[in-house]
Amino acid sequence: MFAAGGDKVYAHQMVRTDSRDQKLDAFLSKPKASVTTVSTSLASGVTASPSGIRSNQQSSISSVEKEHPGGSAKSATHRREIKLSSILSLQQDIENNAHTGLRELFQDHTFVGCVSEELALVQHQTKLYLVNTHRLSKHLFYQLIMYDFGNFGVLRLSEPAPVYDLAMLALDSEDSGWTPADGPKEELAKYVTDFLMTHVDMLSDYFAMQVDKEGNLLTLPMLLDKYIPPLAGLPMFILRLATEVTWDSEKECFKTFAKELSDFYAVKKNLYAEVTAKDTQQGQGQGEGSSQGEAKQEKGDKWQWAVEHVIYPAFRSLLMPPKSASEDTSVLQLANLPDLYKVFERC
């Protein structure tokens, strides 16, 4: 085997994969594009659904209808030109903080497989890497929010989700950190609803989050085509919009809002496993263990398909990995082919 310049390429230097190759399962196992059903649940036996109905019994099934398909908003035919200095500054921050080496790695990587919801293996040239999908997907969605600001497609909830009920679900969760000293949950949930109702125009115009006059959430932004965020995180996302976003400063408002939204959309560790495990337990209690087991397998296949065929292709074409990703174990080199040959030569 010889390189283009005529130099011999030895076995330990040979790259045996092509990052441009596509797998058949990208076409054979594609989930339905028009409607995706998602079972959502919170900790401590509390069940959430986009309809906002609170229940400790069987988990509700919600569906999200995709409008304006065709990729991220970058691919939209008609785009508004955003000239807000705050957004332009945040975009510049992303570009100034991008890591050139990691960007080249993802632009020319070959996906190997999922280790878990949070971790995956990729190959770049002769090296094998362990990638933290959760962390990098947060960066990806944050960047999509900044560059598609005000130009998002829409994910429409199959049923309106009352903001009040979503806030109550979040407060019932241990993750909220609520204590009796914070006041009655009902008052806090009403505050969250009233507060977000004062910002409905901005939510709709900039982030494609439509809330009707009755305080029902109707839509979410479509940040990436063929990707539905884990809806189990919707109640906490709604709560954190009222508590964690800096609303009194334009730049900080957009920045902190984007961080909360990207955290909601990011691929979550163990989230799908927890949801489907609860579905299976409920189904077994009703004599439906077999069908629920099949549903669990189907959902497992869906998140793996989304990671391999939606998230990582977006890493390739859209992600600008930050410099911090080279230092916080977001990308770890596991093996290098020449080094492996040295080991075997000593055996």
Q: Which residues pair with 128 in a beta bridge?
A: 123, 335
With respect to residue 334, please indicate whether it lies within any of the assigned structural domains.
no
Which alpha helices (DSSP H) does the chain contain, by range? 25-28, 85-96, 100-107, 133-147, 163-172, 185-197, 200-207, 234-243, 250-265, 271-285, 289-306, 312-317, 337-346
107, part of any domain: no
Asked if residue 310 is part of any domain, the answer here is yes
Quick check: is 1 in a domain?
no
Residue 137's Cβ-count burial label (10 Å; 0-12, 13-18, 19+) is buried
Looking only at Cα atoms, what is the longest distance across the chain? Answer: 76
Tens of pLDDT along the chain (347 residues) come to 445 555 554 444 555 555 455 555 555 555 543 333 333 333 333 333 333 333 332 333 344 554 544 445 454 457 899 999 999 999 999 999 999 999 999 999 999 999 999 999 999 888 999 999 999 999 999 999 999 999 999 999 999 999 999 999 999 999 998 999 999 999 999 999 999 999 999 999 999 999 999 999 999 999 999 999 999 999 999 999 999 999 999 999 999 999 999 999 999 875 555 444 455 455 555 555 555 555 555 566 788 999 999 999 999 999 999 999 999 999 999 988 765 555 555 55
Given the DSSP bridges, would you call strands 61-67 and 127-132 parallel, antiparallel or unpaired? unpaired
Structural domain of residue 88, as residue ranges? 30-99+136-315
Residue 344 lies in a domain: no
| Count of structural domains, the chain | 1
Domain annotation covers residue 242: yes
Those residues with Cβ within 8 angstroms of residue 291's Cβ, 6 or more apart along the chain or in another chain = 283
Flag whether 326 is in a domain: no
**335 domain-assigned:** no
